[in-house]
């Protein structure tokens, strides 16, 4: 029987990520950089697969969406127009007893570390990371690392409208890095100062805004379900009025039940026409839709905005199971086949038999032309299976002595551990049917 909640689940995920090459501490040889993470050989494949699954779902398989890749560095006026330079700040307080610093809205009246109720006055800290463009560090060269990808879409609105020739409703999608000087980062990769966003700005006729807002809430919620997230660990939470950003009419979070509690994976907001009006005012450029007669030509904007790193963490946590097999604990990542870093592992039963090894390599090389496949002969077959289970590989192909005679191999399923004997010439079709049915 599979068990979802295991003891010390977060610790087990963190350990697995380092041990198997998913995620490493950044700059570890120098003692590490707090709350910064590097994706290893398997992690980079998983992260790429998450982004590819999102891109296919929201761009490549739709006629009403186009993509964009805007620069991280933008004109400083961008952040004035968006309101980030004036209001993008957290109110922080310092505990006078233990000297720790906290967001005022997160701690109430008591220090979570030492229990003291004696705090400094709240002070506003801007969350944007500053940098300077050019060799001279003065006010004229001041710039920022973008705190969100959305503004790159808004400032390119007219460019996309003119070149893609889209009619309302239509969207612009982007995946990219963002940076926020978070005061309380933590929970592994959940909250970091450098992170990656998957973001859509969907432009609609204002009279249709409610309809498309509800549509995107359901669409984004179902995306996680379709990629294997358990429904019991996923929920929608609508923001109260006092939670809403100043520009938002409505916002709903898709939340996941992490080991540290329910937390946001993605937010879907109705941003109204705030952004395009602001950039039009600050730039002096026209950012309207010619055939939209209402609202001075300004469309409303529905924004689904999700975190790549948070999604990767949720998929890892949700996929992790332990079960007892023949008196031993088997750890397995039941990742959806679209997300699994490796699709097939080809394993020779006897690594000292040259003919078996040769056939195994040939099978791996053939599979590798159309999917990520690996060859491994560094342990006994049982240990090789466990290794592939732990990194989420859906299928293992075992080449044995009999394979040399009957030209068949054994295909083992990760989740059921069921084994089928398949002819080598039908192997690729069999695997495709298993992985992409």
Predicted confidence (pLDDT) per residue in 274-325, tens digit: 999 999 999 999 999 998 999 999 999 999 999 999 999 999 999 999 988 8
pLDDT reading at 170 higher than 70? yes
- pTM beyond cutoff 0.85: yes
Confidence of residue 356 (pLDDT cuts 50, 70, 90): very high
DSSP 289-323: -TT--SGGGPPEEEEEEEEHHHHHHHHHHHHEEEE
Question: According to the model, what pLDDT value does residue 243 have?
Answer: 87
Residues 156, 70: contact at Cβ < 8 Å? yes
Pairing of strands 194-204, 170-179: antiparallel
DSSP annotation of 191 reads B
Question: According to the model, what pLDDT value does residue 90 have?
Answer: 61
Confidence of residue 35 (pLDDT cuts 50, 70, 90): confident
The span from the CA of 303 to the CA of 199, in Å, is 7
State the average pLDDT over residues 103-116. Answer: 80
pLDDT above 90 coverage of the chain, percent: 73
Question: According to the model, what pLDDT value does residue 341 have?
Answer: 98
The span from the CA of 428 to the CA of 408, in Å, is 12
User: For residues 428, 431, 435 and 437, what is the CA-based torsion angle, rounded to 10 degrees?
Assistant: 80
The span from the CA of 282 to the CA of 1, in Å, is 60
Structure tokens at 229: 């997230």
Confidence of residue 114 (pLDDT cuts 50, 70, 90): confident
State the average pLDDT over residues 224-241. Answer: 96
- Of 1-5, 60-64, 247-251, give the lowest mean pLDDT range: 1-5
- The tally of CA atoms less than 13 A away on the side-chain side of residue 266 is 28
Confidence of residue 1 (pLDDT cuts 50, 70, 90): very low
pLDDT above 70 coverage of the chain, percent: 94
Confidence of residue 238 (pLDDT cuts 50, 70, 90): very high
The CATH H-level (homologous superfamily) assignment of domain 342-436 is Anticodon-binding domain (3.40.50.800)
The span from the CA of 367 to the CA of 106, in Å, is 51
Q: At what angle do helices 427-436 and 354-368 cross, to 10 degrees?
A: 50
Q: Compute the mean pLDDT over every residue in the chain, rounded to the nearest whole number.
A: 91
Q: How many CB atoms lie within 10 A of CB 106?
A: 10
pLDDT reading at 366 higher than 90? yes
Confidence of residue 224 (pLDDT cuts 50, 70, 90): very high
> CATH 3.40.50.800 in the chain, residues?
342-436
Structure tokens at 63: 């006629």
Confidence of residue 141 (pLDDT cuts 50, 70, 90): confident
**Considering the domain 9-76+146-317 in this protein, what is its CATH number?**
3.30.930.10
State the average pLDDT over residues 222-231. Answer: 97
């Amino acid at each position: 029987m599979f068990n979802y909640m295991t003891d010390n689940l977060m610790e087990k995920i963190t350990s697995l990520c380092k041990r198997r090459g998913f995620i490493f501490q950044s700059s570890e040889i120098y003692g590490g950089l707090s709350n910064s993470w590097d994706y290893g050989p398997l992690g980079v494949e998983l992260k790429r697969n998450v982004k590819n699954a999102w891109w296919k779902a929201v761009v490549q398989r739709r006629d009403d969406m186009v993509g964009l890749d805007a620069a991280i560095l933008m004109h400083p006026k961008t952040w004035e127009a968006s309101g980030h330079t004036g209001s993008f700040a957290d109110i922080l307080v310092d505990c006078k007893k233990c000297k720790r610093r906290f967001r005022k809205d997160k701690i109430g009246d008591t220090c979570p570390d030492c229990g003291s109720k004696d705090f400094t006055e709240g002070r506003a800290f801007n969350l944007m990371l500053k940098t300077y463009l050019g060799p001279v560090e003065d006010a004229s060269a001041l710039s920022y690392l973008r705190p969100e990808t959305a503004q790159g879409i808004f400032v390119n609105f007219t460019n996309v409208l003119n070149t893609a020739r889209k009619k309302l409703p239509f969207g612009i999608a982007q995946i990219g890095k963002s940076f926020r000087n978070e005061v309380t980062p933590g929970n592994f990769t959940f909250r970091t100062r450098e992170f990656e966003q998957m973001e859509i700005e969907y432009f609609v006729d204002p009279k249709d805004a409610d309809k498309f807002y509800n549509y995107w809430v359901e669409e984004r919620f179902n995306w996680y379900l379709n990629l294997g997230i358990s429904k019991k660990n996923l929920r929608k939470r609508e923001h109260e009025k006092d939670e809403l950003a100043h520009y938002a009419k409505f916002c709903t979070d898709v939340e996941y039940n992490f080991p540290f509690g329910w937390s946001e994976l993605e937010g879907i907001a109705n941003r109204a026409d705030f952004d395009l009006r602001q950039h039009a005012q600050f730039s002096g450029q026209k950012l309207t839709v010619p055939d939209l007669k209402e609202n001075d030509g300004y469309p409303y904007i529905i924004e689904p905005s999700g975190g790549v790193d948070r999604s990767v963490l949720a998929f890892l946590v949700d996929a992790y199971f332990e079960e007892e097999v023949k008196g031993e604990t088997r750890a397995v990542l039941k990742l959806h086949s679209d997300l699994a870093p490796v699709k097939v592992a080809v394993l020779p039963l006897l690594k000292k038999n040259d003919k078996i090894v040769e056939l195994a390599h040939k099978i791996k090389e053939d599979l590798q032309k159309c999917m990520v496949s690996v060859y491994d002969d560094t342990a006994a077959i049982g240990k090789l299976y466990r290794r592939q289970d732990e990194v989420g590989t859906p299928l293992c192909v075992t080449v044995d002595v009999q394979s040399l005679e009957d030209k068949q191999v054994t295909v083992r399923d990760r989740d059921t551990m069921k084994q089928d004997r398949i002819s080598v010439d039908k192997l690729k079709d069999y695997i495709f049917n298993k992985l992409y049915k």
